[in-house]
Structure 1
Amino acid sequence: MPTNVLVAYGTTNGSTAEIAETIAGVLRKEGLTAEAVPAGAVPDVAAYDAVVVGGGLYAGHWHKAARRFVRHHGKALAERPLWFFSSGPLDPSASERDIPPVPGVKKAMDRLDAAEHVTFGGCLREGAKGWVARMILRDGKGGDFRDFERIEAWAAKIGHELTLV
């Protein structure tokens, strides 16, 4: 049974980090050892039995740190149970229907035989970094669209799958 799970993430303003921390917390409740770590801070995945990778979505692309992580650790990721998540829509759409992975993430999923991908709603708050983020906020289109019940249910499903292995 895989017991040590890495939840690696790429985030700019912290929303995806909060999702990753929630996932790791649920996995720990499921009896696994799990930690959420910024994707750029992971030198090696050898110590992990399974990996969850998440990235914020920006202009139809996964966060650069998540993309680099998957590229750099691809061989090792392909040898482990692997799940992907994205965060980003600044509306309730991610809670209302399944949103498929963006093309770059779909390509990585196919190449690495990832078990699943899910898109969660995003969060953009006052003080966010980046010109585009500030413009979105100025236009009144920010907010928190993350559905933590859905995030927790997805993480519990992963935990259940890993404890059955």
Structure 2
Amino acid sequence: MTDTVLVTYGTTNGSTAEIAEAVAGTLREQGLTVQVLPAGSVTSVTSYDGVVVGGGLYAGRWHKDARRFVRRHRALLADRPVWFFSSGPLDASAAERDIPPVRGVQRAMTRLDARGHITFGGCLKEGARGRIAKMIISSGNGGDFRDFDAVEAWAKGVADSLNHK
């Protein structure tokens, strides 16, 4: 059994952090010890036996903090089981079909031999930061498209893999 799992994330307005917390909650329910941290605050991954990295999608790219985390810790991540998740589509598409990782995430998955990736729907609500976010909301295209049942199901799969390592 895996002892400690890091769930880390890059987010601008907090919705990816909420998904990360949900992933962590499910991993804990499955008997794992979990720490949840923003990707920009992680200084080392040596004490973790598995890592889940999440990033919000912005204009077809993963959040910069998630990208930087993967680059900074690449050597040690390659020695442990790693999963990625993305959040971002502001529609029902993530619930309707599997959305493949964006190019940069796919490249990182290949380099690290990551065990999996999933894209969850995003969330953009009134009060979101950023000019583009405000434009999206004012045009009526915001909303919450996250499916926490899907998050839980995916996290249970991660936990099963870690518990049967």
Same fold (TM over 0.5): yes
TM-score, normalising length from structure 1?
0.99
Compute the displacement of 1:3 (Å). 1.7
TM-score, normalising length from structure 2?
0.99
User: What is the rounded CA distance, in whole Å, between the counterparts of 2:121 and 2:88 in structure 1?
Assistant: 5
Compute the displacement of 1:2 (Å). 1.4
Percentage of pairs with the same residue? 65
Residue aligning to 2:67: 67
Residue aligning to 1:58: 58
Residue aligning to 1:121: 121
- Count residues with an aligned counterpart: 165
Residue aligning to 2:83: 83
Is the Cα–Cα contact under 8 Å of residues 21 and 35 in structure 1 kept in the other structure? no
Structure 1, unpaired ranges of 5+: none
Is the Cα–Cα contact under 8 Å of residues 62 and 86 in structure 1 kept in the other structure? yes
Q: Secondary structure at the match of 2:55?
A: strand
Is the Cα–Cα contact under 8 Å of residues 61 and 104 in structure 1 kept in the other structure? yes
Residue aligning to 2:133: 133
Cα-Cα RMSD: 0.5
Compute the displacement of 1:35 (Å). 1.7
Residue aligning to 1:142: 142
Compute the displacement of 1:97 (Å). 0.1
Structure 2, unpaired ranges of 5+: none
Greater than 3 Å deviation, 4+ residue runs = none
User: What is the rounded CA distance, in whole Å, between the counterparts of 1:35 and 1:60 in structure 2?
Assistant: 28
